[in-house]
Structure 1
Amino acid sequence: MKKDKKNDAQEEVADLTALQDENRGLFEQLTHKNEDYMVKLNKRLEDADFSNDRRTVLFNDMLKTLVSEQSAGRTARQIYGTVTERYLEMVDGPRLDTKETTGERSEDWKLYVDGGLMLGGMFALVTGLSALFSKSGTASGMGILTLILNFIIGGFVVLAITKNAPIKGQKGSTLRYFLVSVVGMLIWVAVMTLSMLFIPPVINPILPPIANVVIGILAFAGKWYFKRKFNVKGTLF
């Protein structure tokens, strides 16, 4: 019986040694950004007296995932969240917090770009198609400056709406979401309308309808690529 226990202990040590060797090899394959992430996480766990054996086992899974995913451009932060978030999850286990009740959201700049491409592309596409199929033949596409404002303002509007999305169990969140959505859309429409009415055509030349349609399609394609490339989470669509 004692011999069996001794053999089990030896096998466990051998397994940990093999994992440590594998971890060193995987660590050398990390990008600079992912390497920095793992170094900071390891330091946090060391300070919390997280055992070396446990870190070895958990890091093995993480390192394998990082090496596999970084070839697609995904970083440790995109996969595991911030160093602090990953540290707390490893120490305390998964927690029910705001991110879990609302769905994890990416950084504001990602939500802004994604939203601008979506709303801007939608307006450009609708405007272009309306002009193309107008029976009166008087409809036209948007001006260049109006089109630019469309994407810029659209990004801010969608960002505001996204960040005020209802939170389950929180009173008043639905009303706030409704008000922000209405006000945001009104501001967006007002800016588009005023820019078309008051910006002189000489600096805001009208694009042909087909150009608006092409820009709208390219914007939606760009949104799809951006969301996939940067793993954008928590968007409206």
Structure 2
Amino acid sequence: MGNFMTEKKAAEETKTTAGENTVEENKQRNQKVAQQQAANLEEKKAKEVKVVVSKFAGLTKRSEDYLFRLNKILEERHYDPAKREAIIEELTLELREKQSKGFTARRLYGTPSEKADSIIAGPKKEAQPVTFWKMALDNGLMMFMLFCAMYAIMGMVSPKSVKVNGGVLTLLVTSVLAGVGMAFFYQMAADRKAKKQRLPFWKMLLWSLILVVVWLLVFTGVAAIPGILNAGLNPIVYAVLAVLVFGLRYYLKKKIGLRSQPF
């Protein structure tokens, strides 16, 4: 009986030891698998870095770091891989050329996040230059609207003042003249700013003075023309005309790209 108990105890101890060995082996195996996976991940990252570095060969460390971060941001934002590769390659070529002239990536493109935003948003549409007649039309409508509003207010406050300042014909002629004159002034200022025409500043002031004098003379002359064509309107009619012209000007801005100029 004693021998039997001894053998049973030995068997249990052997079983326990085997179980412990199995747990230890599993633990060691799991550690090896985890270490192998970590090593594979590190190797993969190293290969990726090596590929990226080879793409950026010839760049300064700052330019290389900039493009590396930009590439990462675009990748995180799930930007099209093919387009991303093409853009990074294009920027790399541009930086290789311009960094020798003292340009940095940040100076050229802003921060990596800002550049990523602009890439994802796509190229901005360049604003079409405003032609002379569009400027004249815009300013003419604006002056007509302002005059109508002024005549409406003056007619409500003092009905006689509208008759003194003229009527419909005066309103039309002076609005057209003001629109053309202001468009000429803006065009001249734009040409001077773009250095297309080196017009001295004193000449610009002289032209401005001439514009004001001509406008006043025409206004005074047309306002003196009697008759039904130059009759004053009811203040409410002037107010309605101001609203209608405002709506027309808004419609033309959407339809033909009419853009306001500084008044």
| Greater relative contact order (Cα < 8 A, sep 6+) | 1
- In terms of fraction of residues, the more helix-rich structure is 2
What's the TM-score once normalised by structure 1's chain length? 0.49
Based on CA coordinates, which of the two structures has the bigger radius of gyration? 2
What's the TM-score once normalised by structure 2's chain length? 0.45
